[in-house]
Amino acid sequence: MPCVNEMSSAQTTPWLHRFALFAAFATLVLIWSGGNVTSKGAGLAVPDWPNSFGYNMFLFPVSKWVGGIFSEHLHRLIASAIGFLTIILAVWLWRGEPRRWVRHLGYAALVIVILQGVLGGLRVTLLKDEIGIFHACLAQGFFGMLIVIALATSRLWQRISASDFSGLAARNLARLAIVTTSLIYLQLALGATMRHQHRDLAILDFPLAYGRFIPEVTPAKLAEINDWRNARALSEVTPGQIWLQMAHRFLALLIAAGVVACLLRGRLAELRGSPLARWCDAWFLLLAVQITLGALVIWTNKAADIATTHVAIGATMVGLGIAISGVSLRLSQSPKQATAQRNYLASEKLQAS
């Protein structure tokens, strides 16, 4: 017989879940928009903040939305919409969600989205690349928080039971997924660092790097590389920029190994009835797409549309990794832990009523 909390939340969770899912999808669009602004070098197309060329942001004439101004101003409007959605979500969780940790996650998301808005403005007014890098990384973290909220308010979260699957298999998958997702997040941070340097790519061949698997960066070789780049009107590079891009490549290999390992774990008989097998298949498919896009980014020297799609797919991989980790952790609970959690939630609901 379902506990009191489960019976009550069955009426309220579906719409809350749909709204949280919509907010998460809108945030993914925002991340794509931010990537588009960076890829097209439009970050300072609107030089003032919070106004736009002296106009109130929401009253800026559409006739002036041209070129880079369109990309930057649209990004600001989408960000404002995400802030409004996050306020609604936090209030909704406060009023209708019995689980304290989910409510607190909603409050944290609201704080983060406010901080994001401030960082976006400071990036314009202070002209600091470091702020842009932190802004990009925090956006991925905010997206992950919304994924957790959407997952926790879903029927799937209520329906899955630790007693129906192998706790050990789920626990092993959870560990792999958490490590792999953390590596993807680190990879996105490295990518953001390279993108916000506002330079051509440090290495323009793939899978080799200046004709070698491990590039030579002695002073003589570096001078030769920069002479070659100068002849093609490309910016000069430093050893640090070359090694940063190499670190991005090496980390991609670790991520690929992690995703493949999760794919194999998700196909185990003990987890076959859970959604994890399908999610791990999708993760592997996204990995293949992301590697292809990464190669195209190098071969085209950061073509804007390809680079932006690369950013969006990376964010999607983070979100899916968080979903796999969350469901795996829930399935890894022992039946005793699951029962204790249900009893705790029921008691919280009774106290609230």
Q: Which residues are 13's β-sheet partners?
A: none
What is the tens place of the pLDDT at every residue in 246-255?
999 999 999 9
Q: Which residues are 55's β-sheet partners?
A: 52
What is the tens place of the pLDDT at every residue in 22-52?
999 999 999 999 988 888 877 788 888 888 8
The closest alpha carbon to 33, from 341, 309, 348, belongs to: 309
Statement: residue 7 has pLDDT above 90:
no
Q: Are 86 and 109 spatial neighbours (Cβ–Cβ below 8 Å)? A: yes
The closest alpha carbon to 140, from 112, 101, 121, belongs to: 112
* Residues ≥6 apart with Cβ < 8 Å to 250: none
Statement: residue 166 has pLDDT above 70:
no
Specify the amino acid at residue 79: A
Q: How confident is the model at residue 165 (pLDDT cuts 50, 70, 90)?
A: low
What is the tens place of the pLDDT at every residue in 278-310?
999 999 999 999 999 999 999 998 888 999 999
CA distance 103 to 90: 7
Q: How confident is the model at residue 161 (pLDDT cuts 50, 70, 90)?
A: low
Statement: residue 103 has pLDDT above 80:
yes
Q: What is the pTM of this model?
A: 0.87
Stated as kind and residue range, the H or E segment containing 57 is none
Stated as kind and residue range, the H or E segment containing 96 is helix 68-96
Statement: residue 319 has pLDDT above 80:
yes
Residue 2 half-sphere exposure, CB side, CA atoms within 13 Å? Answer: 11
Specify the amino acid at residue 230: N
Q: Are 297 and 170 spatial neighbours (Cβ–Cβ below 8 Å)? A: no
Q: How confident is the model at residue 322 (pLDDT cuts 50, 70, 90)?
A: very high
> What share of the chain has pLDDT > 90, as a percent?
60
Mean of the per-residue pLDDT values of the chain: 86
